[in-house]
Amino acid sequence: MANSRLIRLGLPPLLLIILFLFSSCGGGDGKADISITLATEIAAEPLDGRLLVMIADNDTREPRLQISSGSSTQLIFGMDVEGWEPGTVIRFDNASTGYPLESMSEIPPGDYWIQAFLNRYETFNLATGHTVKMHMDQGEGQQWLRSPGNIYSEPVKITIGEGGKMKAEMKADRVIPPIDPPEDTEFIKHVRIQSKMLTEFWGRPMYLQANVLVPSGFDPGSDARYPLFVFHGHFPYTFDGFRTTPPDADPNDNVYNSRFNITGYEYIQQKEAYDFYLKWISPSFPRYVVIEIQHQNPYYDDSYAINSANLGPYGDAIMYELIPEIEKRFNCVGEGWARFTYGGSTGGWEALAVQVFYPDEFNGCFAACPDPIDFRAYTVVNIYEDKNAYYLDSRFKRTPRPGHRDYRGHVSSTIEEQNRLEYVMGTNSRSGDQWDIWQAVFSPRGDNGYPKPIWDKLTGVIDHEVAEYWKENYDLRFILERDWEKLGPKLEGKIHIYCGDMDNYYLNNAVRLMEDFLESTTNPYYDGVVKYGDGFEHCWNGDPDNPNYISRLRYNWFYNDIIKERLAKTAPKNHRLVNWGIW
């Protein structure tokens, strides 16, 4: 039946049998012995990947769904596997790398639930001549927990004795099924192209996709032309925040949203999406095209929309392959004066970065709560002067650097803890998480073909040679200051930055440093905006009247008045724009 099930899923005819051997007993020599056997029926060829074992002290959810950098996290242990032959055994023991406990020997005695997971890698022969093994996205947005083809086991209850002693038997035969592609609707279209640039870099077919919101009344045969709004951010399965029917969620549900400390959030999201639709079809609403880009890659759920030594020429591929195709299909102007970009967090960094790196191709950026835009404040680390990323520089004490806080300043995780978790999930920047993607985007390529670390993942010791590479190539404040004579005239009036002054990831620190430079600019003055939300967390987008949980749902129309003013100054008289009321 397992073979039939996998064939129904459209996967190779594999039978997964992973055997875990451990026992429900305590005492003894305190050794953990988890033997994982790949049965001979499992595959026609050896497997590569990151093998993970997750252990939880409760069964409220599967152990794999209870791993985080927060205080409620459960346990995870990991190792790389290469050429794992069917019938051979791999063992986890007390020396296996773990988070937040470093060793299984530290696990307190008691009852637990254990689960295994294999994040499968494929081999890439890069244009650089390097060979790397990475997990390739399967339509899920580079999220290994739900990536089709990855393998996991059913949780099993065990008893762990003193010193982490465990021994029992478990069989796993679960494979994550494929994901159906999104369907087009009247207003939402999906455009997918193979990128010649990225295919050449990665040595295998690579694709870019845009989720497109088309204007009300769009007619491909019309001579009307539309501005293009690029909404940057994390992987979007389809265009979100837009619905053509009234909300059907219960406005009085008591489902608690821990991020925003409210209930009824599903209804709020649906209402905002429907309200946006009503605006969109209003006869007087300005007509424009919005795109969200799918540029997931072997390192992360997006590429940061720039060229990179490790990810390849994503910036050029998006700018010169994908965007022209979108503009051609949907009657966009196709010139820099009619393109605008915005986003929050990762999307905020991307919005500012593409405006800086492609200054003539966009007429304004709106960067909300951007990822670090000055590496003197890489969250709370100065990568140029600090010696260690995890602890304050001190001879006699070790004060941890915080990684996440709430609006009251309460810290829930440290930078070291966050990096330790990533190290367990994947070596060589392959965790698919935040610190690793920054490193993959900003770092030079190492001799092994993977990103050169900005700091030692286990100790936090900073490599200042790598930091200098970051500075010269990706420190947005430094680049603007270094090149203002050339960039200033191209960026005048285009830069808008917004950040809560209690950003959860301390991103306001870098915004302050950027503001210091921008406000000092002359010849020309930058003539833009830097604003702060008093007491606002991640991700405030400049709305002074609404909480984050509302404003974050309004990106696609919130900046229209500012864009209209910009178009009035810069659009040619024969623009053929619809409903913008200029000229």
Q: Residue 13's pLDDT band (boundaries 50, 70, 90)?
A: very low
Q: Residue 19's pLDDT band (boundaries 50, 70, 90)?
A: very low
Q: Averaged over 177-198, what is the pLDDT?
A: 97
Question: Over the stretch 355-405, which tens digit does the pLDDT of each residue have?
Answer: 999 999 999 999 999 999 999 999 999 999 999 999 999 999 999 999 999
Token pair for 365: 């950026």
Contact 45, 189 (CB under 8 A): no
For 504, other C-beta atoms within 10 Å of its C-beta total: 18
Sign of CA dihedral 549, 553, 554, 556: positive
Determine the pLDDT at residue 450.
98
Question: Over the stretch 571-582, which tens digit does the pLDDT of each residue have?
Answer: 999 899 999 998
**Taking 90 as the threshold, does the pLDDT of residue 97 lie above it?**
yes
Which range has the worst mean pLDDT, 112-126, 153-167, 232-246? 153-167
Question: Over the stretch 308-362, which tens digit does the pLDDT of each residue have?
Answer: 999 999 999 999 999 999 999 999 999 999 999 999 999 999 999 999 999 999 9
**Taking 50 as the threshold, does the pLDDT of residue 504 lie above it?**
yes
Determine the pLDDT at residue 38.
67
Residue with tokens 């996991």: 152
**Taking 50 as the threshold, does the pLDDT of residue 27 lie above it?**
no
Determine the pLDDT at residue 130.
97
Residue with tokens 């209870």: 66
Determine the pLDDT at residue 164.
73
- Spell 174-213 as b/e; 16+ CB within 10 A means b: bbbeeeeebeeeebbbbbeeebebbbebbbeebebbbbbb
Q: Averaged over 296-317, what is the pLDDT?
A: 98
Question: Over the stretch 403-438, which tens digit does the pLDDT of each residue have?
Answer: 999 999 999 999 999 999 999 999 999 999 999 999
Q: Residue 16's pLDDT band (boundaries 50, 70, 90)?
A: very low
Which residues neighbour 449 within 8 Å (Cβ) at sequence distance 6 or greater? 126, 128, 130, 131, 132
Q: Averaged over 149-167, what is the pLDDT?
A: 83
Question: Over the stretch 452-473, which tens digit does the pLDDT of each residue have?
Answer: 999 999 999 999 999 999 999 9
Residue with tokens 């990706």: 474
Determine the pLDDT at residue 275.
98
Sign of CA dihedral 323, 329, 333, 335: positive
User: Mean pLDDT score of the chain, rounded to an integer?
Assistant: 91
Q: Averaged over 476-482, what is the pLDDT?
A: 98
Q: Averaged over 228-245, what is the pLDDT?
A: 96
Burial of 298 (0-12, 13-18, 19+ CB in 10 A): buried
Determine the pLDDT at residue 89.
77
Question: Over the stretch 515-531, which tens digit does the pLDDT of each residue have?
Answer: 999 999 999 999 999 99
How far apart CA 38 and CA 460 sit, in angstroms, is: 35
**Taking 60 as the threshold, does the pLDDT of residue 15 lie above it?**
no
* CA atoms within 13 Å, Cβ hemisphere of 351: 34
What one-letter code names the amino acid at 523?
N
Determine the pLDDT at residue 20.
40
Determine the pLDDT at residue 165.
74
Q: What percent of the chain has pLDDT over 70?
A: 92
For 360, other C-beta atoms within 10 Å of its C-beta total: 10
How far apart CA 82 and CA 35 sit, in angstroms, is: 16
Contact 53, 92 (CB under 8 A): yes
Residue with tokens 């596997």: 81
**Taking 90 as the threshold, does the pLDDT of residue 43 lie above it?**
no
Q: Residue 21's pLDDT band (boundaries 50, 70, 90)?
A: very low
Question: Over the stretch 77-96, which tens digit does the pLDDT of each residue have?
Answer: 999 999 988 777 788 888 89
Closest CA to 414 of 375, 456, 460: 460
The DSSP bridge pattern shows strands 495-500 and 365-368 to be parallel
From its phi and psi, is residue 428 left (phi > 0), alpha (psi between -120 and 50) or beta? left
Burial of 544 (0-12, 13-18, 19+ CB in 10 A): exposed
Q: Residue 167's pLDDT band (boundaries 50, 70, 90)?
A: low
Contact 438, 419 (CB under 8 A): no
